Amino acid sequence: MDTYPNLSIRLLWFPRKIPFIGFKRAKQLAFEAIRTAVLDEIDEPYSIKNQKKKTEEDAIASWAEHWHQMPCTSLTYQTALTEPPDGNPHPTFRTSQDTVKFSCKTICTLYRIITGHTFIGSYTQRFFPQHTQEQIACPCGELLQTVEHVPLNCPLYNTAHQEHLTENGRLRNLSQLFDHPEQATSVLRFLEEMGVCAKLQMEWEPG
């Protein structure tokens, strides 16, 4: 282009079925380039696809490094984020919600359980210092109602535990409830059926 600044190039598109001699010549040149190429000197093409892939890989590596540097002591890390990120959606995002419809209230309760901000005794104890013992106790008589107690140990829900939250007749531990889409769906069914750990619905009074 520097040698012939007045050069004009026009690009045309032809269907492959048209007998255009340029197709044959282009194919010959491509085979020749492949045959004579030094593979060690070839870099990945700087295409948009490769840029996106590289950016995604760098982001996942950065997230994983951050995960390993975190104390990982909060309830979220003990329940759902037990492994460093790998770029795939978390199992709780891959539940069978497309075929089984759950209420927004139930889905919100699931993530409140994971983060420890669900409406149970331990939450009241943490955020309301002036609580009474009755406000933090479980209706079953347990002195402190916790995230672990309700889906795993509370005798008030034994039947629902066995129906939704067991594997081969044995209750899963807290982290196992969220490490697979089918298990997360079972937790949603348990929450939907029992209505536990959810914010109490205030009665609406017309003005």
How far apart, in whole angstroms, are the C-alpha atoms of residue 89 and residue 74? 21
pLDDT digits (tens, 9 = 90+) for 124-159: 998 888 889 999 999 999 999 998 899 888 999 999
How far apart, in whole angstroms, are the C-alpha atoms of residue 53 and residue 46? 11
Are the C-beta atoms of residues 124 and 136 closer than 8 Å to each other?
yes
What's the pLDDT score for residue 207? 43
What's the pLDDT score for residue 201? 54
Paired strand residues for 170: 167
What's the pLDDT score for residue 99? 55
Radius of gyration of the chain, Cα coordinates, nearest whole angstrom: 29
Q: Which of 151, 152, 131, 155 has its CA nearest to residue 141?
A: 155
What's the pLDDT score for residue 133? 92
What's the pLDDT score for residue 96? 59
How far apart, in whole angstroms, are the C-alpha atoms of residue 50 and residue 119? 46
Number of H helices, E strands in the chain: 8, 2
- The residue ranges of the chain whose pLDDT is under 70 are 41-46, 96-100, 169, 200-207
Q: Mean pLDDT score of the chain, rounded to an integer? A: 83
What's the pLDDT score for residue 47? 78
* Domain boundaries defined on the chain: 91-194
What's the pLDDT score for residue 202? 47
119: three-class secondary structure by DSSP: coil
